[in-house]
Amino acid sequence: MKKTWIEKLGLGKEKNIIILSPLEGVSCPISEVSDPTFSEKILGEGIAIQPTKGEVVSPVDGTVAIMFETKHAVSIISEQGTEILIHVGLDTINLRGEFFKAFVKANDKVKAGDLLLQFDMDKILNAGYDVITPIVICNTNKYLDITTYTGKSVKKLDQIMVLKNKDRL
C-alpha cells in the first residue's frame, strides 16, 4: 500500500500512547490526592495509585530523566517524548531517602517493567506519610486528550492511561 505524502513526511496523526501502571494498587483520580500540587493538576494531568506493594517499575520504554536524590520520585521520558513523573507518597521528600532504594539513575535507558525503585510502605506510613503515588504527564499540553482508568485494582503494567496525540499538521 502506497503512503500519502503526509505519511511519508511523518506528519498526520500518530498512534495513541499507552501508559502502563508502574505499581500495584488501586487507581484513583488525581483530583482526589490531598496535595493541591497534584489535585489541581499544576504539574499536569494524571492518575494516582494507592499502592499495595512497595515497588515501582517503568511504565514505558524510555530514558530516566531524573532520579531524585531523595529517591521518592523519578521522571522518565518515553521513546515518544512523554514526560512522566512518578511521585511516591506525599511530602516524602522530607524523609531524605530513608525507606527508599533506587535501581536506576539519570540517563539510564529503561524498558516497561524494569525496576526503578523500592520503598518500605509500612515504615513510611509509620513515619506519618501518605504513600498514595501520583503518576503525572508533565507535558500534558502535547496531547489532545488523556483518558485515565480509575477506581479499580491494578497490577504492574496494566493500562492506566491513554494519551491521544494532537494532529501534527
Domain ranges for the chain: 13-165
Q: Which residues of 92-116 are buried (b: 16+ CB within 10 A; e: fewer)?
A: bbebeeebbebbbeeeeebebeeeb
Which residues on neighbouring strands pair with residue 112, listed in sequence order?
none
Q: Is 72 among the residues known to form the active site?
A: no
Catalytic residue among 87, 88, 116, 161: 87
The secondary element (H helix, E strand) that includes residue 39 is: helix 36-39
State residue 11's pLDDT score.
Answer: 46
The DSSP bridge pattern shows strands 115-119 and 73-78 to be unpaired
What is the per-residue pLDDT across 40-64, written as a single tens digit (0 to 9) for each?
999 999 999 999 999 999 999 999 9
Mean pLDDT along residues 97-111: 98
At residue 166 the predicted structure's pLDDT band, cuts being 50, 70 and 90, is confident
pLDDT of residue 10 exceeding 80: no
At residue 5 the predicted structure's pLDDT band, cuts being 50, 70 and 90, is very low
Q: Does domain 13-165 have CATH number 3.30.930.10?
A: no
Q: Which residues of 12-31 are buried (b: 16+ CB within 10 A; e: fewer)?
A: eeeeebebbbbbbbebbebe
Judged by DSSP in three states, 31 sits in helix
Phi first, then psi: give them for residue 126, nearest 5 degrees.
-65, -25
What is the per-residue pLDDT across 143-157, written as a single tens digit (0 to 9) for each?
999 999 999 999 999
Q: Which residues contact 124 (CB under 8 A, 6 or more apart)?
A: 89, 92, 95, 99, 131
Alpha carbon distance 105, 140 (integer Å): 24
Query: What global pTM score does this model have?
Result: 0.90
Q: Which residues contact 145 (CB under 8 A, 6 or more apart)?
A: 163, 164
